[in-house]
């Protein structure tokens, strides 16, 4: 499957939103939350406005197979800014292509153009986290932590 990547535009929203719905359905983290599609749409529009969002299309047939986007931010303890990935999703039928690699390269290139370090931030989903972690290492990223979560409690104590 030949794949090409370009910046996402407002014209892409009609095909991006259904793709992101698939992402939410596939992600264990999103399945256990109330997905606010309006908030998600606003965020995607924000990444488009700042030229920080990308789409991947297969060439034959021309079908959207992946999306990626990020934001410039600093953490609460520093003024140092980073370009941080917020979403990167490739449909299951596109995962044997180079769509994921091309989207990741587009994000890393955007960070270089902004002269900022790049960080993957929201790697929640998937059934095989070891394979996903290995894929990121192959692409030159260093693992610097993990994400842990507790279930919703029933009773609360006074603190």
**126 pLDDT tier (thresholds 50, 70, 90):** low
Of residues 103 and 132, more confidence is placed in: 103
* Residue range 53-78: mean pLDDT, rounded: 87
* Residue range 92-112: mean pLDDT, rounded: 91
- pTM of the predicted model, to two decimals? 0.84
Cα–Cα dist 109/143, whole Å:
19
Of residues 159 and 69, more confidence is placed in: 69
Residues 6+ apart with CB under 8 A from 88: 66, 67, 68, 69, 100, 103, 104, 107, 120
Q: What tens digit of pLDDT does each residue of 21-51 get?
A: 888 888 776 667 777 888 989 999 999 999 9
Percent with pLDDT over 70 in the chain = 84
The domains found in the chain, sorted by start residue, are 3-138 (3.40.630.30)
CA-CA distances (angstroms) from residue 66 to 18, 49, 79, 146? 11, 19, 32, 24
Strands ordered across the beta sheet of 3-7: 3-7, 53-59, 62-74, 81-90, 118-120
């Amino acid at each position: 499957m030949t794949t090409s990547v370009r910046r996402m535009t407002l014209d892409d929203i009609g095909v991006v939103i259904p793709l992101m719905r698939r992402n939410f359905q596939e992600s264990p983290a999103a399945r256990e939350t109330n997905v606010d599609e309006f908030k998600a749409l606003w965020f995607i529009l924000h990444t488009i406005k700042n030229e920080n969002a990308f789409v991947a299309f297969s060439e034959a047939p021309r079908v959207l197979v992946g999306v990626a986007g990020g934001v410039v931010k600093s953490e609460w303890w520093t003024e140092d800014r980073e370009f941080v990935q917020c979403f990167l999703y490739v449909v299951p039928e596109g995962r044997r292509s180079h769509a994921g690699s091309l989207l990741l390269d587009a994000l890393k290139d955007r960070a270089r153009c902004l002269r900022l370090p790049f960080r993957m931030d929201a790697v929640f989903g998937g059934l095989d986290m070891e394979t996903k972690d290995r894929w990121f290492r192959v692409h030159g990223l260093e693992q610097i932590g993990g994400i842990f979560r507790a279930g919703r409690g029933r009773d609360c104590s006074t603190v």
